[in-house]
Amino acid sequence: MCETGDAADSRDPAPVDEEARFSELLEDSAEDLYEHAPCGYLSTLLDGRIAKANTTLLDWLGYRRGDLVGRMAFSDLLTVGGRLYHETHFAPLLRMQGEISGIALELKAADGSHLPVMVTSTVKTGSDGQPLLIRTTLFDARDRRAYETELLRARQEADQERDRLKLLNTTLQKTLLPPTLANVPGLDVAAHYHIASVDEVGGDFYDLFPLAAGTWGLFLGDVCGKGAAAAAVTSLARYTLRAAAVYDPDPAAVLANLNTVLNHEYQGTDPRFCTVVFGLLTPDPDRGGFRITLASGGHPPALLMRADGTADYLPTPGGQLIGALPDAHIATTTVHLAPGDTLLLHTDGLTEAHTTAAGGEDRYGDEAFLDFGHDLAPTTASDTIGAVRDLLRTFGTGVDDDTAVLAIHVPRSLSEEQQ
C-alpha cells in the first residue's frame, strides 16, 4: 500500500500544476476570446447601427470603439458597391432567412484603405421569436480575394480564347463550303451544313458548279475525322474534285482521280480517306428535266423523292472508301429526274444521330430517313432542307457529328402545276 501510495504521491502533483496553469491561461476567457478572436465580431441593431465591436475588428479598421458604437451603421463600413449589395441582397436575405453566410464584401478602414472580408450574419431572436439584433463575424479574406481575382482573370482569359477558337473554326468551316450554290437554269437547289460542335472543324463538304456545255457537277462527302488535319483533307478533296471534273467529267473517273491524289498525299502510317458521292447533271431535252449520273465511294445512298409521292434510295453497292486503297472500286448509277422530283444527298451525321439524349443507344437510321422521304414526297429543294433542319433540331445534342445535306429539285412548269 505504502509503496503504491508513495508512487502515486510522486506522480500526482504534476497534472494538478498543469491544470492550474491551463486554467490561468483560460482566465477571463470569454471576454478575451471575444475581444481578441482571430476574426472580427460585430453586433448591430436591426436598423444596422453598431452596438458592439471587438478589438480585432477595431484594430483592422483603425477605429476607436467610440467612433463606431452608436455612431455608425454596418453599411457605413462598406464600400459603395458593397453598400448597394448589402441593401439589395444581404439585408433582405438576412431578414428572410435569419442568417446569411460566406458573403464577400469589402470594409473601408479609417485611413481609406479597403479590407476584403467574408461575412456571416445571424439574427438573434428573443424568447417570443421577435428579432432583437444581428450578430456578424468577419474574416480577413485578403489572400482569398487575391486568389479569386486571379481565378476570375484566368476564367475571362479562357472565355476569350474559347471565343477566338470558335470564330476560327467557324471561319475555317465556311471556307470549306461554297459561299453560294451555282444557279442552274431549270433546277431548284438548296443545301445546309449543321455544325455539331464549334470546338472542332468538321469534315463534311459539298459543292455544285458549272462544267462544259450546259452540264453541271455536284458532290457531297465526309472526311474521316475532325479538326485541322481533317480540314486539310477536306480542302484537298474539294479542289481535286473541281479540277478532276474539268479534266474528265465522268463521275467514276473523277472519284478515281481523287482516290489517286489522296493515296499519293497520305501514305504510310497516316492514311486519310473519305466517303463521297459525285454527280454529273445533264439537261434532258427529250423527256424534260435532267439526267444525273452518280458515282459513290462508300457514301450513304442518295434519296430520290418523286413527283408521284414515292421515295427510294438510289443504291450504289460495292463503292469503296476513297483514299483507303490504291484501286478503290467505284459504283455508279444513272437516273432521270423528272419535273417534280427531288434528289437529296446527305452525310451520315444525320442517320447516325442519337434520337434520345446525347450518348444514347438509339440512332435515327436509314429506314426512318426513308420514311421521312416518303412523308415529304413530292416536295421541293428548299422544303426538303427546311424539313431536315427541323428534324436535326428535334435531335438537339443527339447530333454528335457534322451533317451536310444538298437537295436538287426539278420544278414543274406552271401548266403542270395547275393540273
Partner 1 sequence: MARMDVRSRNHVRVTGRAGAPVVMLAHGFGCDQNMWRLVVPALERHFTVVLFDHVGSGNSQLSSWSQDRYGSLDGYVADVLEVVGELALGPVMFVGHSVSAMMGVLAAAREPEAFAGLVLLAPSPCFIDDPATGYRGGFSAADIDELLESLDANYLGWSGAMAPVIMGNPDRPELGEELTNSFCRTDPEIARVFARVTFLSDNRADLAAVRVPTLVAQCSSDAIAPPEVGAFVHARIPGSRLVTLNATGHCPQLAAPEETAAAIAAFAGAAR
Residue numbers at the binding site for partner 1 (CB under 8 A): 46-48, 75, 79-89, 91-93, 95-97, 100-106, 118, 144-145, 148-149, 151-152
Cβ-based neighbour number of residue 339 at 10 Å:
17
- The sign one gets for the Cα dihedral 196, 202, 203, 209 is positive
If the CB atoms of residues 59 and 148 are measured against partner 1, the closer one turns out to be 148
Please spell the DSSP secondary structure of 377-401, one letter per residue.
Answer: -S--HHHHHHHHHHHHHHHGGG--S
Give which of 190, 186, 197, 183 is closest to 220, Cα–Cα: 190
Q: How far is the CB of 95 from partner 1 (least distance, A)?
A: 4
Nearer to partner 1, 23 or 160 (CB): 160
Q: Which is nearer to partner 1, 51 or 151 (CB)?
A: 151
AA letter at 31? E
Closest CB to partner 1 among residues 81, 227: 81
Neighbours of 364 (CB within 10 A): 22
Task: Please report how close the Cβ of residue 388 comes to partner 1 at its closest, in angstroms.
Answer: 25
- Between 162 and 287, whose beta carbon lies closer to partner 1? 162
Round the CA-based radius of gyration of the chain to a whole number and report it: 39
Choose between 42 and 302: whose C-beta lies nearer to partner 1: 42
Are the C-beta atoms of residues 351 and 369 closer than 8 Å to each other? yes
Query: Could you tell me if residue 24 is left (phi over 0), alpha (psi between -120 and 50 degrees) or otherwise beta?
Result: alpha
Task: State how far the Cα of 56 lies from the Cα of 308, in Å rounded to an integer.
Answer: 88
Amino acid letter at 169?
A: N
Give CA torsion, residues 330, 336, 337, 339, to 10 deg.
180
Cβ–Cβ < 8 Å for 214, 204 = no
Contacts of 207 (CB under 8 A, 6+ apart): 177, 178, 181, 217, 218, 219, 238, 241, 242
| Whole-angstrom distance, CA of residue 29 vs CA of residue 326 | 89
To the nearest whole angstrom, how small is the minimum distance from the Cβ of residue 120 to partner 1? 11
Q: Of the two residues 65 and 155, which places its CB atom closer to partner 1 in the complex?
A: 155
Closest CB 115 distance from partner 1, rounded Å: 14
Least CB distance from residue 61 to partner 1, whole Å? 18
Q: At closest approach, how far in Å is the CB of 131 from partner 1?
A: 11
CB of 281 to partner 1, least distance (A): 43
DSSP of 129-147:
S-EEEEEEEEEE-HHHHHH
Nearer to partner 1, 82 or 279 (CB): 82
- Which is closer to partner 1, CB of 110 or CB of 152? 152
Q: How far apart are CA 330 and CA 322, in angstroms?
A: 9
Closest CB to partner 1 among residues 152, 158: 152
CA atoms in the 13 A half-sphere facing the CB of 143: 2
**Minimum distance, C-beta of residue 124 to partner 1, in the bound complex (Å):** 17
Q: How far is the CB of 155 from partner 1 (least distance, A)?
A: 8
Distance CA 4, CA 150 (A): 66
d(CA 87, CA 110) in angstroms, rounded, equals 22
Task: Give the nearest distance from C-beta 141 to partner 1 in angstroms.
Answer: 8
